[in-house]
Chains A and B, each alone.
Chain A
């Protein structure tokens, strides 16, 4: 079942984190959306970012994507302090984000969407080269797309998600963040996307998966980081954790000092 690994990184997580966040704060007016959040992402692992609605998951993702710059805290990327204040900064560092709405153009075909904003060719586009590269990329992901010359509108939800993931990979990012990738998908399509996430991991990418679906988390994630009310509330290794532990952390039945992890937060008063 393991893939035909030709990618430079061998399977398994990297020794040091690709991305490290320490003490991230973000406020919107009177609302403190994130306070002192820490997060580590290693290469070749899938980190699930969990939390109830309004916990601050999306804000954290937006901080990393450069949509909302953090107010305080440090971001370390591959050992160096990084400054992410625009989406272009995040892209340049190698952090790709696939938002829930996928941001695809329905009227363009798959090739047009994959290469949108970075078409190959001189004054005239070299459609054939893009088409060849598109097939190569989709093969690597074992993606099931019947044709790259049909408009995105004719693809299923899972296929669109695949195109969005393939597009994120074109710049060879180190970190891929997926926001609710399976939210609107059926059983089979969800499985396809989860397989795709598995393949991203074996290519050596660090994957951040934001989701509400515990089944997805249990099946693909290596680690689960729980955010509650804008603070870290646990960092679980999936191999040694049960479903119930995580749900308890999400709902706040267990707060951080009770959890068996070394997160340096003082307890949250109830």
Chain B
């Protein structure tokens, strides 16, 4: 008995002898990561590994691919579509789908084009109108889903066509409207970069914020008599984050640096992650995605969750559409058509959000869109045309869903579905 007695005080969550990860600190953290991966809970590992492979292959094929100029450009390119994918992530979390995000973004860009030029509205008003239209569309989707009980893919498929028609109607006979280059949104999307020194400071602030949140978490856990990460492991993780961020900043700063749209996208991702993991709303989103009936019986207003999710998705699609229009300085009948929908959905799934609901993270929008944008950029550098790009993006999506399904099976086998 005395030999097996724990050397230090046993925390509340470590008193059961069958506990899987009973060790505190660095070794415990490493051990739990390894056992998680073994049982099929891969988290972000497949997408990160896949990204590395894809990027290395493209670099071998074309030396320009990993250059600061191309990477900087790539990150800017992915911001708009990434915002749309972020909305898809939230809808997928409740096991639903929105197929109309492309058309929704097209409507928003049409509103921006017409509002700024023909109607002569100020920028803030057009942006507000576009976002309000997104909110109303999401509200209609959510209401049809809740009260008519239509499947979401049919609702949004109908929405896709209706919004496409609305986009053509708003644009009028010209079909294409140029947005003046002097408009702040064009300026923001095309030419705004974080000043070099500010970028280094920003990277430091992000690492500092990470350190702060981890230390606070550790303090709270100790206060509540729970096991916690060791100071050493927190320090090492922070140091690693700081080195990676500062290195990335330095590398991108060799060209134009980090673009403001990309930072804006990342800020949205981080806010969404906090909302999903730390708030009541986020908890109810996961609950509805996991077992809607159980959520209902727990007193969660399931209908309100669905409505909030559909509204959020449409609003983010509208924001993404505004960003696309600003980036291209034009709103046209081709805005948001074609592969926008599927790329946004593919990005969410490639990033690791399950199609089966209840599993995923806001960060999957970020990771997934980098893969999609990387493929597009690499194939453009190789002067391969759209036909190849579609096929390769499709193949990557296929692999991502295959990995999702296979690891789901492995998780079930290990009792961690």
Q: Which residues of A contact B (CB under 8 A)?
A: 87-88, 91, 103-108, 112, 116-119, 123-129, 131-132, 135, 144-151, 153-155
Chain B residue, CB-CB nearest to A143: B16
User: Does the CB pair A132–B225 fall under 8 Å?
Assistant: yes
Within the complex, the shortest CB–CB distance from B279 to chain A, in Å, comes to 6
CB distance from B344 to the nearest CB of A (A): 23
Given contacts A106-B290, A117-B299, are A125 and B13 in contact (CB under 8 A)?
A: no
Question: Which residues B273-330 have CB closer than 8 A to chain A?
Answer: 278-280, 283-284, 286-287, 289-291, 293-295, 297-300
Are the C-beta atoms of A119 and B283 separated by less than 8 Å? yes
Contact B226 A103 (CB under 8 A): no
Which residues of the other chain, B, contact A125 by a CB distance below 8 angstroms?
278-280, 283
Q: Out of A116, A146, A155, which one reaches B287, CB within 8 Å? A: A116
Q: State whether B290 touches A150 (Cβ < 8 A).
A: no
> What 3 A-B pairs are tightest by C-beta distance, nearest first?
A117-B298, A105-B290, A107-B290
B237 at the interface (CB under 8 A from A): no
A119 touches B417 (CB 8 A): no
Task: Return the contact of B19 from the options A91, A104, A106, A146 (Cβ within 8 A).
Answer: A146
Q: Which A residues are CB-close (under 8 A) to B280? A: 119, 125
Q: Provide the bound-state CA to CA distance between A148 and B11, in Å.
A: 13
- B224 contacts A by Cβ under 8 Å: yes
Complex Cα gap A91–B297 (Å): 11
Contact B294 A105 (CB under 8 A): yes
Q: 10 A–B contact pairs at CB < 8 A?
A: A105-B286, A107-B289, A112-B283, A117-B299, A124-B278, A125-B278, A132-B225, A132-B226, A146-B19, A150-B20
List chain A residues, Cβ under 8 A from B134: none
B283: chain A residues within 8 A (beta carbon) = 108, 112, 116, 119, 125
Binding site for A on B (CB under 8 A): 12-13, 16, 18-21, 220-221, 223-226, 278-280, 283-284, 286-287, 289-291, 293-295, 297-300, 358-359, 411-412, 414-417
Please tell me which one of the listed residues A87, A148, A154 contacts residue B416 in the complex, with CB atoms under 8 A apart.
A154
CA distance A154 to B411 in the complex (A): 9
In the bound complex, residues from chain B placing their C-beta under 8 Å from that of A155 are 415
Instruction: Tell me, rounded to whole Å, the shortest Cβ–Cβ distance linking B216 to chain A.
Output: 10
Contacts of A105 in B (CB 8 A): 286-287, 290-291, 294-295, 358
| Minimal Cβ-Cβ distance residue in B for A88 | B299
Cβ contact within 8 Å between A135 and B13: yes
Q: How far does the Cβ of A137 sit from chain B's closest Cβ, in whole Å?
A: 12
Give, as a whole number of angstroms, the nearest-CB distance from B354 to chain A. Answer: 9
Report the minimal beta-carbon distance from B287 to chain A, rounded to whole angstroms: 5
- Shortest distance in angstroms between A123's beta carbon and chain B's nearest beta carbon? 6
> How far is A126 from B297 in the complex, measured between Cα atoms in Å?
22
- Using Cβ atoms and an 8 Å threshold, which residues of chain A touch B291? 103-107
Q: How far is the CA of A148 from the CA of B226 in the complex (A)?
A: 11
Q: Tell me which residues across on chain B come within 8 A of A145, comparing CB atoms.
A: 16
Question: Are A148 and B294 in touch, CB under 8 angstroms?
Answer: no
Whether A116 contacts B295 by the Cβ 8 Å rule is yes
Q: Is the CB of B298 within 8 A of A108?
A: no
User: Complex Cα distance A105/B292, Å?
Assistant: 8
Residues on B with C-beta less than 8 A from A104 are: 291, 294
Interface centre among B21, B220, B224, B225 (most CB of A within 10 A): B224
- Complex CA–CA separation, A123 to B94 (angstroms): 21
- Measured CB to CB, the nearest residue on chain B to A136 is B12
When C-beta atoms are compared, the residue in chain A nearest to B297 turns out to be: A103
A25 to B18, CA, bound (A): 49
Asked if residues B286 and A107 are in contact (CB atoms below 8 Å), the reply is yes
> Given the complex, which residues of B lie within 8 Å of A135, measured CB to CB?
12-13
Give A124 to B19 CA distance when docked, in angstroms: 28
In this complex, the member of B21, B225, B280, B284 whose beta carbon has the largest number of chain A beta carbons within 10 angstroms is B280
Contact assessment for B286 and A108 in the assembled complex, using a CB-CB cutoff below 8 Å: yes
Complexed CA–CA distance, A119 and B282 (Å): 12
- Contact present for B416 and A150 (CB under 8 Å): yes
Q: Is B415 a contact partner of A154 (Cβ separation < 8 A)?
A: yes
Residue of A nearest to B14 (CB): A147
- Cβ of A150: which chain B residues have Cβ within 8 Å of it? 20, 416
Please judge, given known A-B contacts A103-B298, A131-B13, whether A124 and B417 are in contact too, CB under 8 Å: no
Query: Is A107 within 8 A of B358, CB to CB?
Result: yes
Q: Shortest beta-carbon distance, B308 to chain A, in Å?
A: 15
Residues of A within 8 A of B414 (CB): 154
A191 to chain B, nearest CB (A): 17
Kindly state the separation between the CA atoms of A7 and B124 in the bound complex, as whole angstroms.
Answer: 61
CB-nearest residue of chain A to B359: A107
Q: Which residues of A lie under 8 Å from residue B293 when comparing CB positions?
A: 103
Q: How far is the CB of B280 from chain A (nearest CB, A)?
A: 5
Asked if B290 and A87 make an inter-chain contact with CB atoms under 8 angstroms apart, the answer reads no
Docked Cα-Cα span, A154 to B284, in Å, equals 21
**Least CB separation from B93: chain A residue:** A107
A151 touches B417 (CB 8 A): yes
Given contacts A125-B279, A147-B13, A153-B415, contact A116 B226 (CB under 8 A): no
Enumerate chain A residues within 8 angstroms of B294, measured Cβ to Cβ: 103-105, 116
How distant is A188 from chain B, measured CB to nearest CB, in Å? 14
Q: Assess A118 versus B278: contact at CB under 8 Å? Given A107-B286, A132-B12.
A: no
A153 and B417 contact, CB distance less than 8 A: yes
Closest CB in chain A relative to B28 CB, distance in Å = 13
A147 lies within 8 A of B290 (CB): no
Contact, CB under 8 Å: B290 / A144:
no
Q: Which of B19, B225, B290 has the most CB of A within 10 A?
A: B290
Distance of A88 Cα from B297 Cα, bound (Å): 9
CB distance from B194 to the nearest CB of A (A): 28
CB <8 Å contact, A117 and B286 = no
Q: Are A118 and B279 in contact (CB under 8 A)?
A: no
| Complex CA–CA separation, A127 to B290 (angstroms) | 19
Q: Is A128 in contact with B220, judged by CB distance below 8 angstroms? A: yes
* Residues on B with beta carbons closer than 8 Å to the beta carbon of A119: 280, 283
Tell me if A123 and B224 are in contact (CB < 8 A): no
User: Which residues does chain B contribute within 8 Å of A129, judged by CB atoms?
Assistant: 224
Report yes or no: B20 in contact with A146, Cβ–Cβ below 8 A. yes
Chain B neighbourhood of A87, CB < 8 A: 297
